[in-house]
Structure 1
Amino acid sequence: MNAVRYTLRQLEYFVAVAETGTITTAAERCHVSAPGLSLALSELEKALSVQLFTRRRAKGAVLTTAGQAVLAHARTVLVEADELQESASMEGGQLSGSLTVGCYTTLAPFVIPRLLTGFTAAHPRVDLSFEESSQPVLERDLISGSLELAVMYGHDLHPQLGFRPISALPPYVLLPIGHPMSRKRKVSLRALCEEPLILFDVSPSTENFQRTIGKLGIEPRIGFRTESFELVRCLVARGVGYGVLFQHPKTDVTYDGERLVSRPVLEDLPVTEIGVAYLASRRLTQRALSFRDFAAAEFTDDGVGYPV
């Protein structure tokens, strides 16, 4: 057997540069100096006898064709090395190591507290952390390998991703106190279509709403667009318009102290699945598998958010 001339640390730095696109950002991620990382990268290229990156001042570090091929192998080696360490530590009966889970921004308040405290209590030796972002960014990070798991919506997922559902959310209507329809048990979206809609305009929530409303064959009148979940609620409570959301806070009091009314949608519309996404071709660590199963079990009974 030939002696291995590279180190796992060098592979870690290489993958970090490939995923971030710059040596400076990769060095920050790996908590090492940029010159030190650059030297390790050069030593790795020398050990492998191949150029991994084309370094350009304006474009950062761009993978060569050979670098792209090495990247897939490097990720496999790092996962297997991690699994070896994890397997050895599990001889003591407990999972250990680090796990970073992505989470769609507006889902975060509904899922992170329960998953963080519950999973950590069950597996205290796992260093669990979360990164909040939009769904497109989460999908990108899952495919690149910088994230192993992400809690997100299940529709329109990239074909390379797998998905384990943990909950399903029906749409509901938000109305100001005193609205003529606020006393109804359920509210028709058709009946509201001429009133101004406060649209929560963040992907994939926008597309999810358009798909939902499209099934009714109506065109809502957009009053305001906002990327803030809570601003939708505040504007509705002030009588500016109505809203349609999926996640439901436990309280109907807004940040500025106003009250509003939440009602189920009268029309028969599909629910939206929420779950844990992952790269289907990637072999998940035991930590990730355990987290995915824990998340599914945690929300089985009452789901994400609160019923209307």
Structure 2
Amino acid sequence: MPIDDTIGAGVARGELTFRQLSHFVAAAEVGTISGAADRLRFSPSAISASITELERALGVELCIRRRAQGITLTSTGRLVLTRAKRLLSDVAELGWAVRGDGHELVGPLVVGCFVTLAPALLPRLLEEYENLHPRVTIDFVVGAQDELLHALHSGAIDVALMYDLGGWAAINRFALFEARGYALFGEKHPLAIRDGDTVTLEELAPEPLVLFDQTPSTRYAMSMFEARGLTPHVRHTTHAFELTRSIVARSDSAYAVLVQRPPNKKSYEGLPVIEKEIIPPPPAVSVVLAWAGEVELSARARALADILHSDYPAR
């Protein structure tokens, strides 16, 4: 019997419950029965029994349980996991729709944002959204690109604002605007003092580079040099955008390659920083709103997308 028919039969007999589905989803996401028990505040035996009841209702094995190694989903278990998460999401959305009486958005929305984009995009976006939809509890998570992608797939966040350098699997997105890398100097750096608004990668490569080391920024910066057959001289590596700018601002020899361009052309210490375009121009990179490919956007997430479409109309 096809899996969808099996599920239908289980529901019709009243054997399949949303509690079983939620226990199975938690165990699948955490990877252990005990971890699911901690997350849901049930006993491990209750979680295990729920999964057994779900397997009996569906007539299939969903996971292989090993005491010391947690659980491993079967191929059918992976299919049921996707469908179960969708069902649980639909039930939650039904509850929020009823509370909103069909006329007002109600419920939670969690937005992820790449660390350098957050100060530029989130404050205004949060203000606009909260003014339009005051009964939505909007929250945010700021992190590196790989952290945001994991959070999208796990359901920890609903949507994410980040750079699109390709290579994503099962991610939907639409572009907001494009950005391009540039070189940053302190005001006493010889390349900052000289006339002209541009520098070449050949001029930059021998100079000490303060590398902003956050995925995908690192890959983007290094690929520019690699494309020209150059190897930059990395002097310092940082994980903080403003620290990168501050080190460069104090130096008369170091530089950085960045993408985000704050309107404030000074470091945290108030020292000037000088931006120069790189020639040949680096590839443009899109800033996008992204969400998991298997997820249908909630009404709350679609409202956020509408605001972004209005702020950044397609060009």
Fold shared by both chains (TM-score > 0.5): yes
In structure 2, what is the equivalent of residue 305 of structure 1?
none
Task: Provide the secondary structure at the position in 1 that maps to 2:134.
Answer: coil
**Secondary structure, in 3 states, of the residue corresponding to 2:191?**
coil
Match of 2:303 in 1: 290
- Structure 1, unmatched stretches of 5+, are 302-308
Tell me the equivalent position of 2:218.
206
Structure 2's unaligned 5+ residue stretches are: 1-10
Which whole-Å deviations, capped at 9, do the CAs of 1:168-190 have from their partners, x for residues lacking one? 11212111112222244412133
Alignment CA distance shift 1:149-1:272 (3 Å): same
1:33 aligns to 2:41 (yes or no): yes
TM-score after normalising by structure 1? 0.84
Are the equivalent residues in 1 in contact too, given 2:152–2:160 (CA < 8 A)? yes
Q: TM-score, normalised by structure 2?
A: 0.82
Cα distance in structure 2, aligned partners of 1:68 and 1:260:
51
**1:43 corresponds to:** 50
For 2:198, give the aligned amino acid.
V
The answer to whether the aligner puts 1:73 opposite 2:83 as a matched pair is yes
Question: What SS class does the counterpart of residue 118 from structure 1 fall into?
Answer: helix
Deviations 1:99-133 (A, max 9, x none): 22222223222222222222122111112122223
Q: What percent of counterpart residues are identical?
A: 33
Query: How far apart are the structure 1 equivalents of 2:111 and 2:37?
Result: 21
- Which range moves more in the overlay, 43-52 or 176-185? 43-52
1:73-102 Cα deviation digits (max 9, x unpaired):
201211322343344445442111112222
More moved, 182-191 vs 170-179: 182-191
Cα root mean square deviation, aligned? 2.7
Tell me how far apart the structure 2 counterparts of residues 62 and 154 of structure 1 sit (CA, whole Å): 32
- CA positional deviation for 1:236: 0.7
Aligned residues: 298
Segment drifting more, 46-55 vs 189-198: 46-55
1:224 corresponds to which of 226, 230, 236: 236
Q: How far has the Cα of 1:300 moved from its partner?
A: 4.8
**Residues 1:236 and 2:248 are matched in the alignment:** yes
Aligned to 2:179: 169
Matching residue's letter, 1:42: A
Q: Over residues 2-31 of structure 1, what are the superposed CA-to-partner deviations in whole Å (9 max), with x where a residue is unaligned?
A: 2433433442332233222244554565xx
Asked if the contact 1:185/1:264 (under 8 Å) is kept, the reply is no
Alignment of 1:1-308 (within 5 A): 2-23=12-33, 25-26=35-36, 29=39, 32-35=40-43, 39-49=46-56, 52-56=62-66, 58-89=68-99, 91-183=101-193, 184-190=195-201, 191-239=203-251, 241-300=254-313
Say if 2:245 and 2:267, in contact at 8 Å, map to a contact too: yes
